[in-house]
Structure 1
């Protein structure tokens, strides 16, 4: 997930789960170890998800022009975050120096730091400067109070909606509740233009996107997946209400059956083809869906709003990507300088203007150039500040696999909601006490 390319209870939840995760093979590297490890200059690599905008390569090209003896090279990994994570872990467990810098999903920091796969980043002085960043994003780069990854882009789920179809249906404002969204869908479906338009889409395929979707639905209903004490909290009416929303959306045809196989990029293409009224998606879609090159049939005919919930705006998921330095890489000093270059406010502004990816520098959300191109930035900033996270566990792979398996069985009709939540409660209980 952007996944390409994104806090609420995040700090407490992350610390609780990482403390309970266990089995991390020892404590993370000390500050002195990290500082001493950041030596060596020369060529570096950046392992990352696919650069669909092409702008990352432009930024790397500019670095390379200014640093002829410290050339950076992008290594593109698969689209699916689960596959990206697996390749990074494989590289780390073999102690390979093939990857210098890792572009981590925000919830991977604890796992990679606890296993000593990445080194601590020094702050201040010759280190990185986190002071200009949104506080919620800084938390995503920390493990046990120390910084192991530098936030480069943030993210929060938004509701993309077709302004032209809502206007024709007489709907003046975007929905703030699930029921308002269904009512607006019914009005649009009654129009000739809306006959073949699907109502709503969020990721419910068996990918990392399903973990995001589950967290958003349950948090929006007032529940949690794991509580501040690190224990699963799925045996609640609120958790059931959140999962019921997803299950019934598929069952009742509010979401197309194709939703069970579509990933984030598949959903983007569905929206840009003009086949979708409401789409829960990350901000990166904004620029792509507005392209005037013929790739989007909805350019200029959509807007974004906070995601809805049962009684008002929902609890969006905190996403984003952070840069970390592999513990096994050569030329760590060059890697640190490259991270500082990419995290600089001017670079973040240029990248955001080119890609619509959300920056982590707080001042950019009120920058005139930024708000002129992206009027939704104040909404996005509020969403990021209020966002809630997926469980950030040391054994994140096991946790997310358990969530995906149980919830997919429910949304695909294999099990009912209650059985899925009971199964997931048990699995997470075992994972968080190991």
Structure 2
């Protein structure tokens, strides 16, 4: 596709961000009236693209095929980006910075909405076109920037603790652990069983990428700390945050977490769990359907994440649909966004890919809970989740978190020094 050469002029004042207290040129700062800001025009019909990370489930193309059958003159082409979130974000930013119309509808990690809106890479949307009132409130909030709607929730996400029910039962353990110490004690009991000598206790996503930001934030929040305080200012160099990081560092040192977990992304952990290498695993709900199709079917379930003194806190995950400011055929794009984020599509994603629906009623439907027993735990994970820092310069913030957390996990720095350096780096990134 060709590159557009016209666009509304950006203001020249620098963007200023501090956690949730975001300001940017081009926004009126008022509440969402349901109308797009400025002169945004949602006109034009014809072919568009949908841009997202690689679909490991196959269900995305299935939903797109359904749209294409119904709209043969407005077909959607699925552009698949790499599986890791950092690469996805970078490619989307590169497309925006060249003002290319190659990307139409973007699947954004929920934490990217503010960044993309502040830089005017995505359009403000007409809220009345979407059933936001039927969605979970924390999920809808991730789609807003300074009171305006800049994206539409397509799926939510909350971290869950996957565990081997068969092994816990054999070890005489009747309930999943609520704390880190209970989890390590349960592992010790399981590893005394015949045939479990080569198993490791626990893993998450600890490679230096967005997953590490998520897992680090969850450890800090689950120990009573914060990455940014209520006013949006970095506050990570604290005793509580240190306890969270110390859990991860100590678990790697004593073997509770296997050494190779510093190379794990989501799929690495899933495969390790399914192959019998792990007793517990932190992962997203997408894994449930895949694990049910593996040799572990009927031998695992999920629970809320454990924490220092009780149940922990997940990072709020999920994906929002946003409309590229440089796209063509925006009328088609809006209709596709409504279709792709509908209750019907959400049900398909739940059924075929274990993706968390944004709609509140899905979690209270007895027939769905019977079919997907993890839904009550997932709802609590989402409702009690803590958002990652919603800052305009999110790339700088997450890069700093990954750098310092990885240094602590691999022993390049002490936990105390890593948190001190991270506090300084976050203060710089949120002051830009």
| Mapped pair 1:115 → 2:119 | yes
Q: Secondary structure at the match of 1:52?
A: coil
Partners of 1:37 and 1:266 in 2: CA distance = 43
Q: Secondary structure at the match of 1:217?
A: helix
Q: For 1:64-103, list aligned pairs within 5 A.
A: 64-103=68-107
Say if 1:35 and 1:122, in contact at 8 Å, map to a contact too: no
SS of the residue aligned with 2:285? Answer: coil
1:219 to 213, 218, 221: 221
Q: What is the aligned partner in structure 2 of residue 276 from structure 1?
A: 278
- Tell me, yes or no, if the aligned pair for 2:18 and 2:431 is still in contact at 8 Å: no
1:42 matched to 2:64: no
1:197 paired with 2:199, answer yes
Residues 261-297 of structure 1: per-residue CA shift (max 9 Å, x gap): 1111111111111111000000000000000xxxx23
Q: Note if 1:341 corresponds to 2:339.
A: yes
- Per-residue CA deviations over 1:199-236 (Å, capped at 9, x if unaligned) read 00011110100000111000011110111222211221
Matched, 1:208 2:206: no
Q: Distance in 2 between matches of 1:220 and 1:167?
A: 26
Aligned residues: 412
Partners of 1:406 and 1:423 within 8 A in 2? yes
Q: Does 2:425 match 1:427?
A: yes
Q: Take 2:420 and 2:431, find their aligned partners in 1: how far apart are those partners? A: 17
Conservation of the 8 A alpha-carbon contact between 1:46 and 1:75: yes
Q: Distance in 1 between matches of 2:274 and 2:388?
A: 27
TM-score by length of 1: 0.92
CA distance in 1, matches of 2:198, 2:398: 34
Q: Distance in 2 between matches of 1:123 and 1:347?
A: 19
For 1:360-379, list aligned pairs within 5 A: 360-379=358-377
Report the counterpart of residue 328 of structure 1 in structure 2.
326
Inter-CA distance 145–341: structure 2 relative to 1 (3 Å threshold): same
Q: Give 1:36 shift.
A: 3.5
| Among candidates 355, 358, 369, match of residue 357 of structure 1 | 355
What's 1:7 paired with? none
CA distance in 2, matches of 1:34, 1:271: 50
Q: CA separation in 1, counterparts of 2:36 and 2:312?
A: 42
How far the C-alpha of 1:430 sits from its partner, in A, is 1.2
Contact 1:28 1:116 in 2 (8 A): no
Give the distance between the partners of 2:38 and 2:291, measured in 1 at CA.
Answer: 42
1:162 aligns with one of 161, 164, 187: 164
**Structure 2 CA distance for partners of 1:35 and 1:176, relative to 1, 3 Å:** farther
Q: CA RMSD in A?
A: 1.6
**Residue of structure 2 equivalent to 1:59:** 63
SS at match of 1:205: coil
Take 2:48 and 2:20, find their aligned partners in 1: how far apart are those partners? 30
Residue 21 of structure 2 aligns to a residue whose secondary structure is: helix
Give the distance between the partners of 1:258 and 1:160, measured in 2 at CA.
Answer: 19
Deviates most, 148-157 or 230-239 = 230-239
**1:27 aligns to 2:42 (yes or no):** no
1:9 aligned partner: none
User: Could you tell me whether the CA contact under 8 Å between 2:204 and 2:264 is conserved in 1?
Assistant: no
- Deviation, 1:51, is 1.1
CA contact (8 A) 1:157 1:307 kept: yes
For residues 301 and 217 of structure 1, the distance between their equivalents in structure 2, rounded to whole angstroms, comes to 27
1:433 shift after superposition: 1.8
Residue in 2 that maps onto 1:232: 234
Deviation per CA, 1:378-415: give whole Å up to 9, x if none: 11111111110111110000000000000100000111
1:128 to partner: Cα distance: 1.8
Q: Deviations over 1:221-253 (max 9, x none)?
A: 111011122221122110100100111111111
The CA distance in 2 between the partners of 1:214 and 1:130, in whole Å, is 31
- Corresponding residue number in structure 2 for 1:253: 255
Give SS of 2:328's match: coil
Q: CA deviation at 1:34?
A: 5.8
Contact preservation (8 Å) 1:34, 1:121: no
Q: Any stretches of 5+ residues in structure 1 without a counterpart? A: 1-14
CA deviation map 1:289-341 (0-9, x unaligned): 000xxxx2312100100000011100111100000000000011101000101
Distance 1:339 1:28 in 2: 23
Alpha-carbon distance, 1:39 to partner? 1.0
Ranges in structure 2 where 5+ consecutive residues have no aligned partner:
1-16, 30-34
Q: Distance in 1 between matches of 2:365 and 2:18?
A: 36
